[in-house]
Amino acid sequence: MFDNFALEGIDAGEVTLRVRHGGRGPAVLLLHGHPRTHTTWYRVAPVLATRYTVVCPDLRGYGRSDKPPTTPDHAPYSKRAMAADCVELMRVLGHERFAVVGHDRGSYVAFRLAMDRPEVVTALAVLDSVPIGEALARCDARFAQAWAHWFFFGLPDKPERAINADPDEWYRVGDRNTPQRLGAENFADFRHAIRDPDTVKAMLEDYRAGLGVDRAADDADRAAGRTLACPTLVLWSAHDDLAELYGDVLEVWRPWAADLRGGVIDSGHHMAEEAPGELAKALLDFLP
């Protein structure tokens, strides 16, 4: 897995991140979602590395990256804090400007990074998401039923107890998540993460921040008329529910990005694992 990539812990200021990086050329940062780690990119990153320098961290709180103490407003797990980690990580690796690709929760970090630091982001690709502020503003009974975990994870204490009582059952190990579907090493990394109570706590803090400080950041940008300054690619899974919830997904994103393109990937939610070839091609066609 990740042949010819280096694996190391890198000091990103407030936290040390576990990072895999390799390849040569312009830099691309790949950000995973919940409950994965950077290893979810194991079939995509090597393809991109034929043309790019590819950097794949575990986000703060996830995998084997640091898990700082939280605060009552959950700001240490805000997408702004995670985005700042990423900027410092890339600076340490020698990349002052770079493209960023994010999936699921990682897409919110990628979006926040491009909004907060437009001078460093050359292109943005978001996979299976709309901005957090948009999702919550458009929330209806259908969304609340389909994405009930957002609101359950926002509760204090109970989600930790529920997940840690049987993490394999909660995350459908042996059903949706198997070594055959994820790949043996990626599966092992995923399973190590979900069985670590500190990681579970930190992943939940990500969601708690999403309902509060992250939504506030999106709403403030929208009220101020701030938009993305870079080319933006939106991809969504044919067999997930984004189009079912929002209809024309690009219309949700259009107020945020003047240079917008996108389309469907023929996969379930974890497209980097389920359709790596199609995803890698779409990214290669888009990235500068």
CATH topology of domain 6-286: Rossmann fold (3.40.50)
Output the pLDDT for position 58: 98
Q: Which residues are catalytic?
A: 104, 269
Q: Are 89 and 197 in contact (CB under 8 A)?
A: no
Output the pLDDT for position 6: 98
- Which of 50, 210, 234, 231 lies closest to 132, judged by CA? 210
pLDDT in single tens digits along all 288 residues of the chain: 999 999 999 999 999 999 999 999 999 999 999 999 999 999 999 999 999 999 999 999 999 999 999 999 999 999 999 999 999 999 999 999 999 999 999 999 999 999 999 999 999 999 999 999 999 999 999 999 999 999 999 999 999 999 999 999 999 999 999 999 999 999 999 999 999 999 999 999 999 999 999 999 999 999 999 999 999 999 999 999 999 999 999 999 999 999 999 999 999 999 999 999 999 999 999 999
Output the pLDDT for position 287: 98
Using the 8-state DSSP alphabet, how is residue 58 labeled?
A: P
CA distance 161 to 196: 12
CA-angle at 199, arms to 161 and 201, nearest 5°:
40
- Domain range annotation of the chain: 6-286
CA distance 269 to 288: 25
Output the pLDDT for position 152: 97
Give strand ranges (E) for the chain: 6-11, 16-23, 27-31, 53-57, 98-103, 121-127, 232-237, 260-265
- Which of 80, 101, 127 lies closest to 28, judged by CA? 101
Output the pLDDT for position 271: 97
User: Could you tell me how many helices (H) and strands (E) the chain has, helices first?
Assistant: 16, 8
CA distance 12 to 68: 13
Output the pLDDT for position 288: 96
Output the pLDDT for position 125: 98
Q: Are 167 and 200 in contact (CB under 8 A)?
A: yes
What is the C-alpha end-to-end distance of the chain, expressed in Å? 26
Cβ-based neighbour number of residue 110 at 10 Å: 29
Cis ω for the linkage preceding 26 (within 30 of 0): no
Output the pLDDT for position 213: 98
Tokens of 20: 């895999």
Output the pLDDT for position 284: 98
Cα 28 from chain centre: 14
